[in-house]
Structure 1
Amino acid sequence: MRKIVECVPNFSEGNDRETIDAIAQAITETPGCTLLDVDPGKSTNRTVYTFVGDPDAVVQGALNSARVARARIDMRTHKGEHPRMGAMDVCPFIPVANVSMDECVAISKTFGRLAAEALGVPFFLYEASAVHDYRRKLPQVRQGEYEGLAGRLEEPEWAPDFGPAAFVPQWGATATGARSFLIAYNVNILGTSNQAHRIALNLREAGRGPDVPGRLKAVKGMGWFVDEYNMAQVTVNLNDYQVTPIHTLFEEVKKEAAALNVGVAGSEIVGLVPLASILMAADYYMEKENLFILDEDQKVRLAVERLGLNSVAPFDPKEKIIEYRVAETPDEPLAAMRLRDFVQEVASRSSAPGGGSVSALLVAMGAGLGAMVGKLTYGVRKFESVDAQMRKCIPPLHDAAARLIPMIDADTTAFKDFMAALRLPRGTDAERTARAEQMQAGLKKAIDIPLTTMKLGDGAWDALCDVARYGNPASRSDVEVGARTLETGIWGAYKNVMINMTDITDDEFRTRIVGEAEAIVKRAAQKCADVLEILESR
């Protein structure tokens, strides 16, 4: 799955449109980067850019933007209301999808090192990337701002993490690091700014001061009145939505508002939001209300409705959810084919797609048939007595079928990688060694793909047994076909694992994988028999 990292560099220029646009262009022209937002502030004399990309792309995008700033921004003439210490004042990297905080720490360190070398300026690490606790928070690093930076750099404990320990007047210094995704979130209050602020004080982590902390961690907030909406708002920054999710903040505001006898009229998200945070809200309301929803778009709709995200402005998921903004058409030429074309492609004079892709398709279809029967049983009046069982067995079958579709193309891609290694030159000892290493890597990948197909199929058996036990008896033949197809697909994937194992030179790898694959294929035969026996006994 695609890794998505967000980068939010802040530059000390909010008035010169040419400079603002030049920095934006540098990001936009970086391959793999998608610029999502440019937010200049005249009084702060500062512009915040938001862009996303894969780990390598965001490093390059940040470097390209920093180079423009180095050429166009001169801190010696900069004035603004916002605290600052450098031309590129801060450059955080934030995990969005399929990437860990540790990876973002490594990304920030790579960027800091490369930028300091290229520009000849000091860089400090902060937040999760910080090496020293006394300079972990941004206010600590930026204390004294640009005007106090020259003296600070003379102190040994304030030597930069990258670049020279010397004052560069035109630039100043930059803080870079990794942090959690910050969600700017407002809850609408049908009351006064004072009431909204009282709620914020009770909830925000800082509370009313050191002696009276608030209830929610990783939350900053206050109350204000928005004339445009004719409503007050509890306005917060959720510094880590994994610690305090959106729905938790919303529900706690509702409790506080009820205690003050004031109404809550929905909420709004300022800027962009990760899909995971919206799905967390959906999961919360599904559990709270005992709802059964499978489709992602319906889960998103549930969260939007329960949080009242359309209350002051339309919430368009395609525009507000980061993953949807940067979504790309999956590179799945086989899975995207018409069925007729796929069969003809398999039947063509070519070794790929072959047994591995067909096996992945069979496993997906086996799980899919089980999901189909479960869905044809759930919600039907005469089968209401087994709704609870269907709620448990439909999701794993539904998810397995969806996750197996990409494996159809992945198997063919892995085979092509191995064939490419075969064509590498082998004229010298070094070339022969490199070729052998690439061939072994290609073989291991060609083994891992069908093994993953086997594992995904293996995870569907218990649910398929329950469908056989409780599902609509009119669909008995569909479950039988599903069981046989699932078993055959797993057997086919097993054969692909074993045929690629022949030339593996890593004995430990061979022993471990063969043992795992044999256990799964043996269990598939037994589970298929169990499904058929269950159906026969009904």
Structure 2
Amino acid sequence: MAVDALVECVPNFSEGRDQSIIDAISKSIRDTPGCTLLDVDPGKSTNRTVYTFVGCPKSIVDGAVNAAKTAFKLIDMTKHHGEHPRMGALDVCPFVPIRNATMEDCVNCAKEFGKRISEEIGVPIFLYEEASTQAYRKQLKQIRSGEYEGLEEKLKDPKWAPDFGPAKFVPSYGASVTGARSFLIAYNVNILGTKEQAHRIALNVREAGRSDNEPGRLKFLKGIGWYVDEYKMAQVSMNLDNYLVTPPHMVFEECSKDARELNLGVAGSEIVGLVPLEAILMAADYYIQKENLFIIDESLKVRLAIERLGLSSCSYFDPKKRIIDYMVQEDLAVTQPLASMTLKGFIEILGSRTPAPGGGSASAVIAAMGAGLGAMTGWMTFGKKKFEALDSVMRELIPPLDKAMRDLIPYIDADTNAFNDYIKAMGLPKGPVRDEAMDKALKQAINVPLSTMKIASRCWEPMIKMAHHGNIASKSDLEVGAKSLETGIWGAYRNVTINLKDCKDPKYVESTTAEANAIIENANQSLKKILEILENRKD
């Protein structure tokens, strides 16, 4: 999906058992132009379904409105019963900034949604979180207190006049809460015990604890305990309002600790809806450090986190369908058309009658290959019984080479883009606007290859150590890697210096020239050192 601003909407509907209604709401979202439905997560015990879809601000509001209208027609709250707190057919409808969108954008989405729904179907709408300005009705639990059953009386109190729509009770619908918030992770830990035991753990870990005088251990965490009939086990059901402070793995470990103290078994955990990749990688890094593992490949880190947290214990956790970064990732053919080409295709376009891609893009490729060969030498050493004593050394050397290799790949396209931007600036009418655009584009055309040089230069120290300790059977691979690294740096250096000639900023020229010269000198010396080390090794 290629949109300038991407907003996520995660509406929770009070229906988790009637598949025809669940499907009808899904269809109303799918049929909205500009909306992409990512996930539908129904729960029978909770009698609630969480939908996750994304789109630009206008489309996301249209999708939410269409879904709410469908719920208004099909859901009858007078007959609704379920484990989860609720006050309306569309119970809560948060908008979340995902990419190139601000919290203010999402507040505007919530207000537009509330205004339209109140006008089009005549139901009360409350604002919460960032969209609300009143402290006593800012949190969802404050607004939803009393739930659907207490809503009729609540609406008679002027303090609880809705932000949009009439202050009247609509029995078949109830009321909706909408607002803007940061990414929330709905997370459940499975307990082989009773609802009461799960709730006891929830009281221990949730921020509110048991009372103001007895707060819980984890910040930005809301939680209750319940029993899920279809799973035949209890759950500590939680919302993680700030996963950067309180991530899933921390919650899992704390709940597991309390369960052990109660002599209860823990049978994995469950993420409801989608989860940011960052939260999964944080869990992986925690267990890697805890267990002294050596894993740097992202897919393997994801797999480790899934296994350690038991995320497939209730249903299969497919990272391609449950991690939002993977779901909304733009097609590499759009964002990195050169890097996503076949090697044959890239070489052919490199040799075609076009000025770009040129030497800068080729230099990024060559430098990335050099770093990759250095990492490969490490992998040819790590984990082999013959070199077991070197495992700790390889754990130190492989990650920076692997990272440099991956960091250099985007510069294949960045260099070509910088050249194209400079050509566009040259095509503007002569005048101050053109001069400013050309200066900006020229500096970008210098900074991109300079960045290639900087990233590649980070490889020299681990490459030199690799020459000392790496598997000697990979000697020629490391030699080619070192020469490729030096060649990539030299090629990027030539792009820097040729563009500096046209730069009219003397201070920038002076500082950039000094930096580039230092990098190229270090590359020359480092290559020489690596080749000498390898030539003199006897093992």
TM-score (norm 1): 0.80
AA partner of residue 368 (structure 1): G
1:315-330 aligned at under 5 Å gives the runs 315-330=317-332
Q: Which amino acid aligns with 1:184?
A: Y
Question: Do structure 1's residue 385 and structure 2's residue 383 form an aligned pair?
Answer: no
Match of 2:310 among 301, 308, 311: 308
Aligned match of 2:38 in 32, 36, 39? 36
Q: Distance in 1 between matches of 2:426 and 2:363?
A: 24
Query: What's the secondary structure of 2:295's corresponding residue?
Result: coil
Q: Could you tell me which residue of structure 2 aligns to residue 357 of structure 1?
A: 361
Q: Give 3-state SS (helix, strand or coil) of 1:6's partner.
A: strand
**Equivalent residue number for residue 471 of structure 1:** 470
Cα deviation for residue 517 of structure 1 reads: 3.3
Give the Cα–Cα distance (whole angstroms) in 1 for the partners of residues 341 and 239 of structure 2. 45
Offset at 1:363? Answer: 0.8
- Residues 500-511 of structure 1: matches in 2 within 5 Å? 500-505=499-504, 509-511=508-510
- 1:185 alignment partner in structure 2: 188
User: Does structure 2 retain, via aligned residues, the 8 Å contact 1:28–1:35?
Assistant: no
Secondary structure of the residue aligned to 2:294 is coil
User: Would you say 1:375 and 2:379 are equivalent positions?
Assistant: yes
Deviation at 1:19, TM superposition (A): 12
SS at match of 1:254: helix
Q: Is the 8 A contact 1:188 1:265 kept in 2?
A: yes
In structure 2, the CA distance between the partners of 1:232 and 1:74, relative to structure 1 (3 Å rule), is closer
**Gap runs ≥5 in structure 1:** none
Amino acid at match of 1:297: S
Q: After TM superposition, give the deviation of residue 124 of structure 1 in Å.
A: 8.4
Specify the SS of the correspondent of 1:400.
Answer: helix
CA shift in 2, pair 1:267/1:8, >3 Å: closer
Higher alpha-carbon deviation: 263-272 or 284-293 = 263-272
Q: Deviations over 1:162-210 (max 9, x none)?
A: xxx9979999997432323223323232x33332222222222222222
Deviates more, 1:180-189 or 1:34-43: 34-43
Instruction: Tell me how far apart the structure 1 counterparts of residues 467 and 38 of structure 2 sit (CA, whole Å).
Output: 48
* CA distance in 1 between partners of 2:19 and 2:482 (Å): 66
2:269 to 245, 267, 274: 267
Query: Does residue 487 of structure 1 match 2:489?
Result: no
SS in 1 for 2:270: strand
Counterpart-to-counterpart distance in 1, 2:419 and 2:493: 15
Amino acid at match of 1:494: Y
Q: What is the RMSD computed on CA atoms of the aligned residues? A: 4.2
| Structure 2 Cα separation of the partners of residues 480 and 343 of structure 1 | 23
Structure 1 CA distance for aligned equivalents of residues 68 and 326 of structure 2: 33
CA contact (8 A) 2:95 2:106 kept: yes
Structure 1: distance between partners of 2:363 and 2:268 = 48
Q: In the TM superposition, what is the alpha-carbon distance from 1:387 to its structure 2 partner?
A: 0.6
The separation in 2 between residues aligned to 1:72 and 1:235, in whole angstroms, is 28
Q: Take 1:502 and 1:73, find their aligned partners in 2: how far apart are those partners?
A: 65
Distance 2:116 2:470 in 1: 65
Residue deviations 1:33-76 (CA, integer Å, cap 9, x gap)? 422235789999997542135xxx2x12233236658988989x
**Counterparts of residues 223-372 of structure 1 (less than 5 Å):** 223-331=225-333, 332-372=336-376
Q: Distance in 1 between matches of 2:108 and 2:446?
A: 33
Letter in 1 for 2:499: N
TM-score (norm 2): 0.79
**Secondary structure, aligned partner of 2:443:** helix
Higher mean C-alpha displacement, 470-479 vs 104-113: 104-113
After superposition, give the CA deviation of every residue in 1:435-469 in whole Å (9 maximum; x if it has no partner). 44433343333233222222221222222122112
Aligned mates of 1:26, 1:469 — CA distance in 2: 59
Partner in structure 1 of residue 421 of structure 2: 417
SS of match in other structure, 1:377:
coil
Alpha-carbon distance in structure 1 between the residues aligned to 2:238 and 2:31: 30
The letter for the 2-side match of 1:92 is F
CA contact (8 A) 2:71 2:89 kept: no
The SS at the match of 1:264 is strand
SS at 2:530 equivalent: helix
Q: By how many angstroms is 1:382 displaced?
A: 1.5
Q: Cα gap change, 1:420/1:120 in structure 2, threshold over 3 Å: closer, same or farther?
A: farther
2:403 matched residue in structure 1: 399
Aligned residues: percent identity?
47
Give the whole-Å Cα distance in 2 for the aligned partners of 1:7 and 1:74.
18
Quick one: which of 53, 57, 60 aligns to 2:58?
A: 60
User: What residue is the counterpart of 1:104 in the other structure?
Assistant: 102
Q: Which amino acid in structure 2 is aligned with residue 270 of structure 1? A: V
Query: Take 2:47 and 2:196, find their aligned partners in 1: how far apart are those partners?
Result: 30
One-letter amino acid matched to 1:354: G
Aligned to 2:443: 444
CA contact (8 A) 1:104 1:178 kept: no
The alpha-carbon deviation at position 280 of structure 1 amounts to 1.5
Residue of structure 1 equivalent to 2:209: 207
Secondary structure of the residue aligned to 2:485 is: helix
Q: Give the distance between the partners of 2:439 and 2:96, measured in 1 at CA.
A: 35
Letter in 2 for 1:389: V
Counterpart of 2:528 in structure 1 is 529
The match for 1:408 among 408, 412, 415 is 412
The aligned counterpart of 2:457 is: 458
Q: Secondary structure at the match of 2:189?
A: strand
Residues 326 and 490 of structure 1: is their aligned pair in 2 closer, same or farther, counting only changes over 3 Å?
Answer: same
Q: CA deviation at 1:534?
A: 3.7
Structure 2 CA distance for partners of 1:253 and 1:71, relative to 1, 3 Å: closer
The alpha carbon displacement at 1:484 in A equals 2.0
1:354, distance to aligned residue in structure 2 (A): 0.5
Change (3 A) 1:67 1:202: closer
Tell me how far 1:394 sits from its aligned partner.
Answer: 0.4
Q: Please state how far the C-alpha of 1:391 moved relative to its aligned partner.
A: 0.5
Q: Which residue matches 1:216?
A: 218
Shift in Å, 1:361: 0.6
Once the two structures are overlaid, the 10-residue window that deviates more, 15-24 or 408-417, is 15-24
Unaligned runs of 5+ in 2: none
Instruction: Tell me: CA distance 1:443–1:5, structure 2 relative to 1, closer, same or farther (3 Å).
Output: farther
Partner of 2:495: 496
Deviation of residue 224 (structure 1)? Answer: 2.6
Question: How big is the shift at 1:11?
Answer: 7.8
Report the Cα distance in structure 1 between the residues aligned to 2:361 and 2:212, rounded to whole angstroms.
61
CA distance in 2, matches of 1:44, 1:264: 21
- Structure 1 pair 227/39, CA: closer, same or farther in 2 (3 Å)? closer
Counterpart residue type for residue 60 of structure 1: K
